[in-house]
Amino acid sequence: MFFNTKKYKEEAEKNRKHNLSKEPSRFNMISLAILATIAPLRIFLRLHKRRIEDNATVESKTGDFEQIPIIYFHGFRGGDYTTNIMVKQALKDKNNAKFLKVTADLLGNFKLEGTWTGDQNPIVQVVFRQRIVGVYAIDYYLRLILPFLANRYHFKHYRAVAHSLACPCIVRTEMRTYHRKNFPRLTMCAFIAGPFDGVTYMGDIPNVNGLNRNGRPAVINLHYLYLLFRRKRFNPDISVLNIYGNVLDNTNSDKFISVISAKSIRYILAPHAKSYHEVEIRGKKYAEHSWMHDNPLVISIIDKFIGLKK
């Protein structure tokens, strides 16, 4: 009864079509992830001189409005392939084929490709170069990437679409930076298969945990506790959409994230958010963890929620 990392790797990467030789070595990914995870060691990451490879085009604004980008984030072991189909559909719904792709590493280096469009909601796809990362390292990534983009493209608010482990990190980042006036503020977030209170067989054994009448989980891990104690820091102007899967087997999960873990965030966010919505996707074919981000129904629901589609 343990988390099957080999199976997760196969499932999470089944749609990958890019050349693995272009990404960092396993040693590079793990070693930098460890430095980013342990706060006192992050000083060694900051000693590195930042490099910015800017191949992007910046369009002038097409009107007098505030630009609020829609930013897509992947999770553990993810990549551009995780959000590609979501981004492509967003571009169709916008009727604009241009978007900005941002590849970042834990040393603070950035590669910018594509176009920052001049419309009200530029589409931005974020890729973590060191992709074997946990909660603390993704949290560190977000606190590097979001202010960098905000300063470069002059926006104050953003909307987020996140898959898997990026979901709790979006919430953590919002709570952790609530006092920073110049940090870009979240206005809407769409979560897909978020592990808010553990991953199956890694702190969350199927059918053991449960929710009480108020929606609070009976068993709480440290990451959930962090969010719980800081729930009042969550901006009340944020709208939340939480989509989770149930493959309808005996685990009540999407194979990797239990329904209880995914739903547990409601107890923390719903009382404080501007709005909170939950959608459960069911079925072996449609609700599996690494398929949900490509599920047309999931994408349609998200695009309506974030205002790309009527």
Q: Measure the CA–CA gap between 115 and 60, rounded to whole angstroms.
A: 11
> By percentage, how much of the chain surpasses pLDDT 90?
83
Better-predicted residue by pLDDT, 9 or 152: 152
pLDDT band at 11 (very low <50, low <70, confident <90, very high): low
> For the ranges 159-163, 167-171, 182-186, 206-210, which has the lowest average pLDDT?
206-210
Two tokens, residue 250: 């005996």
pLDDT digits (tens, 9 = 90+) for 41-90: 999 999 988 999 999 999 999 899 999 999 999 999 999 999 999 999 99
Say how far apart CA 258 and CA 207 lie, in whole Å: 8
Q: Look at residue 14 and tell me whether its pLDDT is greater than 60.
A: no
Tell me, what's the pLDDT at 207?
87
How far lies 263's CA from each of 4, 105, 291, in Å? Answer: 23, 31, 19
Residue 8 scores a pLDDT above 70: no
Sign for the CA dihedral angle at 190, 65, 143, 220 comes to: negative
Going from the C-alpha of 21 to that of each of 51, 53, 104, 123, 172, the distances in angstroms are 21, 19, 17, 27, 32
Asked if 164 contacts 76 with a C-beta cutoff of 8 angstroms, the reply is: yes
Q: Which carries the bigger pLDDT value, residue 19 or residue 133?
A: 133
At 188, list the tokens: 């809407």
d(CA 123, CA 116): 8
How far lies 136's CA from each of 67, 143, 170, in Å? 29, 11, 11
Average pLDDT for residues 259-279, to the nearest whole number?
97
Calpha distance 20→11 (Å, rounded)? 16
The pTM of this model reads 0.92
Does the pLDDT at position 166 exceed 60?
yes
Mean pLDDT (the chain, rounded): 91
Report residue 203's pLDDT band, with 50, 70 and 90 as the boundaries: confident
Q: What is the DSSP string of 137-204?
A: HHHHHHHHHHHHHHHHHT-SEEEEEEETTHHHHHHHHHHHTTT-TTSPEEEEEEEES--TT-EETBEE
Model confidence at 5, pLDDT cuts 50, 70, 90, reads: very low
pLDDT for 7 beyond 60: no
Phi, psi of 137 (to 5 degrees): -70, -40
Between 124 and 133, the higher pLDDT residue:
124
Model pLDDT, residue 201: 76
* Of the candidates 165, 229, 240, the residue with the CA atom closest to the CA atom of residue 197: 165
CB 141 within 8 A of CB 170: no
pLDDT, tens only, 136-146: 999 999 999 99
pLDDT at 206: 85
The C-alpha atoms of residue 203 and residue 205 are separated, in whole angstroms, by: 7
284 CB-side CA count, 13 A:
2
Contact 166, 138 (CB under 8 A): yes
- Percent share of the chain, pLDDT over 70: 93
| Confidence at residue 110, expressed as pLDDT on a 0 to 100 scale | 97
